[in-house]
Amino acid sequence: MFLLQLYVFILAAFLGYQIIGRVPPLLHTPLMAATNAMSGISLVGSLVAAGGGHGRLASILGFLAVVAATTNVVGGFLITDRMLGMFRRDAKADAAADAAAAEERRRSAGRREEDAR
C-alpha cells in the first residue's frame, strides 16, 4: 500500500511540474487565484483533521497542516497582489499623458484654424 501511495505522489509531483512549466505568462495570475482557492479547501480539511479528536498525533499533524495551508494561502494572495500591481497604471503618469494629449489637441486645432484663414 505504501508503494502505491508513493507512486501516486511521485506521479502527481511530476505531472504538476510539467503542467505548471508549460503555462504561458498571461495565465499565471488566474492560475494563482485557482491555486489559492484550492489551498483554502485544504485549510478547511486541515482544520477538520486538527479538531477531529482522533488522537494526539492527528491533532499535531492537523495543526502543522493548518500552519502550512495558512502560509500557502497568505503567500499566494501576496504574490497575486504583487503580480496584479505590475499591471496597474500610475495615476500621475496617466494625468501627465492626459495633459499632453490635451495640449496636442489644442495645438492641432490651432493649426487647423490658421490653415482655414
pLDDT digits (tens, 9 = 90+) for 23-46: 777 676 677 777 777 777 888 888
Q: What is the pTM of this model?
A: 0.50
* Residue 91 pLDDT: 66
Q: Which of 19-33, 44-58, 95-109 has the lowest mean pLDDT?
A: 19-33
**pLDDT interval class at 59 (50, 70, 90):** confident
Q: Which of 45-54, 66-75, 88-97 has the lowest mean pLDDT?
A: 88-97
User: Would you kindly state where each structural domain of the chain is located, as residue ranges?
Assistant: 2-86, 88-117
HSE on the CB side for 2, CA within 13 Å? 0
- Do residues 49 and 58 make contact, with C-beta atoms less than 8 angstroms apart? yes
3-state secondary structure of 52: coil
Long-range contact set of residues 28-35: C-beta below 8 Å, sequence gap at least 24:
28/83, 29/80, 29/83, 29/84, 32/76, 32/79, 32/80, 32/83, 33/80, 35/76
DSSP assignment letter at 51: T
Count CB-CB contacts under 10 A for residue 39. Answer: 19
HSE on the CB side for 63, CA within 13 Å? 7
* Residue 70 pLDDT: 86
